[in-house]
Chains A and B, each alone.
Chain A
Amino acid sequence: MASLKELSAIPEVLAPGHRLCAGCGAPIVVRQITRAAQGPLVVTNATGCLEVSTTVYPYTSWNTPWIHNAFENAAATASGVEAAYQALKRRGKLDKDVKFVVFGGDGGTYDIGFQSLSGAMERNHNLVYVCYDNGAYMNTGIQRSSATPKGADTTTSPVGKLSYGKRENRKDLTLIMAAHNIPYAAQVSPAHWNDLYQKAEKAFAAGGAAFINALAPCPRGWRHDSKDTIAICRLAVDTCFWPLYEVVEGKTRVTYKPREKKPVTEFLKAQGRFRHLFQPGNEAILEEIQKEVDRRWEELLALEEISNRQGETA
């Protein structure tokens, strides 16, 4: 287990001077994940806040080779980059061991980039795809995505006389990626940096396609104070809204179980995008949200249970 002292000795992949908002979760995720590569790293980035804010020409915040192609094709682009690496290596034109990481927002990953991601995972390219999930299309002004939590007020699921915000449940992308039967899939939060770092290490060492879903609060879209980014991540984990787990070669393991599972309202209350849910009349919605969180948490524990049993009989 690496200490922060050790991690701080690893060169920074993301230079300061980028134009992400103060307190943005995305660069925290990037800084933590990239440290685990431990060596030459090529980054592919989908269009979104992270991409535009870190590469405003002629400036770049990246200290390592980086490519952005378009919004929906980061995984396919990285597939090509990784294929070039395999080819050049085989032909003796390159002798380094290189790692590949992709960063895409939830819009670029759960929605428009879903097919491209699914393809790259199924082909088992040796790369780590990281979704920095801030639960909406932030760069275009906070539109709902399939990662937006139920009840959230966004600009395309606005609260109104007839609306309490987004009506639908979040897509469970991490489990969908695990269902691709790839070597490694995990869910992480930057508040739990140590858990995140260990998972990133495993992902980079997986020898094939790995997927990491990282919670990445957006102070602007979630409407919380910039200083609370990490605290809200902690609430997401402690309420089991955002469980920390990994699926290794098909085996599920919950890597953190809160000693006391907090009500989801603690996570919701901390953010302006859910404020309306606490007004009279919306009690049933809050209840539904809690039920859904409970159901998914139980399901995850059950998956872990099955994996444990399979381990015993193996």
Chain B
Amino acid sequence: MTMKGYKDLPEGGVIPEKGNSVLYKTGEWRSMRPVWHSEGCVHCLMCWVFCPDSSIKVEDGKMVGIDYDHCKGCGICARECPRKEKALQMVKE
């Protein structure tokens, strides 16, 4: 993001945009990476409901992958996955 001069900034420190933190890539924090195997997944969405970083991608009620731009590698998804051996595992970055 370019740094605006003071006259061009919105008044009062308001951010007149929504959800623009997606531009900030917290995926760089990760030391462990969740790896998803679609074959073993039963689409229970446990990983999705517990992810602190809204980083489990779901389409039409089905798990479709991981948002590695933002996933911090906390490991909650893999730990809570009922099919962990088959569907979701943590590996070193």
Query: A interface vs B, CB < 8 Å?
Result: 4-9, 12, 14-28, 31-32, 54-64, 190-191, 193, 219, 225-231
Contact = CB atoms under 8 A, between A and B. Distances in A.
Given A14-B54, A60-B20, A230-B50, A4 B45 contact: yes
Contact of B61 (A9, A17, A193): A9
Interface string B51-64: 11111001001000
B19 A31 contact: no
A45 B46 CA distance: 27
Contacts of A61: 19, 21
B78 A62 contact: no
Contact of A8 (B26, B29, B58): B58
Contacts of A191: 50
Interface in B31-60: 43-46, 48-55, 58
Contacts of A20: 52
A227 B20 contact: no
A12 B22 CA distance: 12
A42 to B, nearest CB: 13
Interface residues of B, number: 41
Contact of A16 (B26, B45, B74, B78): B26
B22 A17 contact: yes
B13 A59 contact: no
Given A4-B44, A8-B58, A15 B50 contact: no
A297 to B, nearest CB: 26
Contact of A23 (B52, B61, B67): B52
B29 A22 contact: yes
25 contacts: A4-B44, A5-B45, A9-B61, A16-B67, A17-B26, A20-B52, A22-B30, A22-B52, A25-B52, A26-B52, A27-B52, A27-B53, A55-B15, A59-B24, A60-B21, A62-B18, A63-B18, A191-B50, A219-B74, A226-B74, A226-B76, A227-B90, A229-B52, A230-B50, A231-B79
Contacts of B75: 23, 225-227
B48 A4 contact: yes
Nearest to A59: B21
Nearest to B18: A63
A31 B47 CA distance: 13
B15 A57 contact: yes
B93 to A, nearest CB: 13
Given A23-B74, A28-B50, A227-B76, 8 more contacts: A4-B49, A4-B61, A17-B21, A24-B52, A27-B52, A57-B15, A226-B72, A229-B74
Given A4-B48, A27-B52, A57 B19 contact: no
Contacts of B24: 17, 19, 56, 59
Given A16-B55, A226-B74, A226-B75, A7 B18 contact: no
The interface centre, meaning the residue of B20, B43, B67, B76 with most chain A CB atoms within 10 A of its CB, is B76
Nearest to A65: B18
- Lowest 6 A-B CB distances belong to which pairs? A227-B75, A17-B21, A15-B19, A16-B70, A5-B61, A23-B74
